[in-house]
Homo-oligomer: A and B are copies of this chain.
Amino acid sequence: MNPTACLLIIGNEVLSGRTRDANLQFLATRLGEMGIPLREVRVIPDVPEIIVDTVNEVRGKYDHVFTTGGIGPTHDDITSECVAMAFGVPWVVHEESRANMAADYARRDPPVEMNAARLRMATLPLGAVPIVCPMTSAPGFSMGNVHVMAGVPRIMQSMFDALAPSLQGGVPVVSRAVHAIGVFEGNIAEGLEAIQKRYPDLDIGSYPFYRQSAGVPGAVPSFPGGGVSLVSKGVSLSDVEAATAEITAMLVAMGASPIQGEPT
């Protein structure tokens, strides 16, 4: 069995609509490739008891928990101290991280002051292992199976790149897609379900796509130029390829001209 993952997106700004999350898809894709499929995502607010309770609920339920957001220097950045509370450990200055940050700040022109707010970013749950990345001297960290990362996408991605080699992966999830223009989901549902039943270990998904016809905004979609993408996904490449061949044959038998391609 592959290890499992849960993502906690922590931040009022995502729940209010101010910020569009850009981390879910990146982590879902990367974790899938590593064989650590993402099983659940929660977006939660910057409220201490909610963060603590949620971390404790999901860290027992999944092999890995990844968090994004809430590790900056301002009052609304409370993820780190909440993870300490969740684990019941003190939240203390991590000397090596403090020294790294101080050296980085001293090199800036003009130099940046290591004040109380910035020292919070070097303060970690006791026992945490820092995640050090090239994008910032303020670290993320792993505390047990909880991996705490920044919310800013390019910093989060750099932290994940630094963390990934230390994660024990599973069997990579592979997928193949077949696209068919002019095909309605409602016409293939029965045949597709039969194929899914023959491959119970695969996850076969059906995703309609639409191309808006010029001049008919709001029209009932009638698929001019649209169609359906059928994606087979699983850890067995031979099963994925066999299911894809059956899906292709089904579409050809209907008179469609399926195109094999990357999942889109």
Interface residues of A (CB under 8 A from B): 9, 12-21, 24-30, 32, 37-45, 72-76, 104, 108, 112-113, 115-118, 120-121, 134-137, 152, 154, 158, 173, 175, 184-190, 192-193, 196, 203-208, 210, 218, 220-222, 231, 233, 263-264
Chain A interface main SS type: mixed
Shortest A115–chain B CB gap in Å is: 6
Contact of A220 among B14, B104, B118 (CB under 8 A): B104
Inside 8 A of A220's CB, which chain B residues have their CB?
104, 134-137
30 contacts between A and B (CB under 8 A): A9-B41, A15-B37, A16-B29, A16-B203, A17-B27, A17-B29, A17-B32, A17-B38, A18-B205, A18-B264, A20-B25, A21-B21, A21-B24, A21-B25, A40-B44, A41-B41, A41-B42, A72-B185, A72-B206, A73-B186, A74-B185, A75-B189, A75-B193, A75-B196, A75-B204, A112-B184, A116-B190, A118-B186, A120-B189, A135-B221
Contact yes or no, A43 B15, CB < 8 A: no
As for how many copies of this chain the complex holds, the number is 2
State A188–B264 Cα separation when bound (angstroms).
43
Report B-chain residues with C-beta under 8 Å of the C-beta of A12.
203, 205, 233
In the complex, A175→B16 CA distance in Å? 10
In whole angstroms, what is the CA distance A186 to B71 when docked?
12
Q: What residues of chain B lie closer than 8 Å to A32, measured between beta carbons?
A: 16-17
Contacts of A231 in B (CB 8 A): 13, 18
CA distance A118 to B74 in the complex (A): 52
Q: How far is the CA of A175 from the CA of B39 in the complex (A)?
A: 34
Contacting residues, chain B, for A207 (C-beta < 8 A): 13, 18-19
Given contacts A13-B205, A115-B186, 8 further A-B contacts (CB under 8 A): A16-B173, A18-B231, A40-B45, A72-B206, A76-B205, A117-B190, A134-B218, A135-B221
Contact among B15, B74, B120 for A39, CB-based, below 8 A:
B15
**Min CB–CB distance A231 → chain B (angstroms):** 6
| Measured CA separation A149–B167 after assembly (Å) | 37
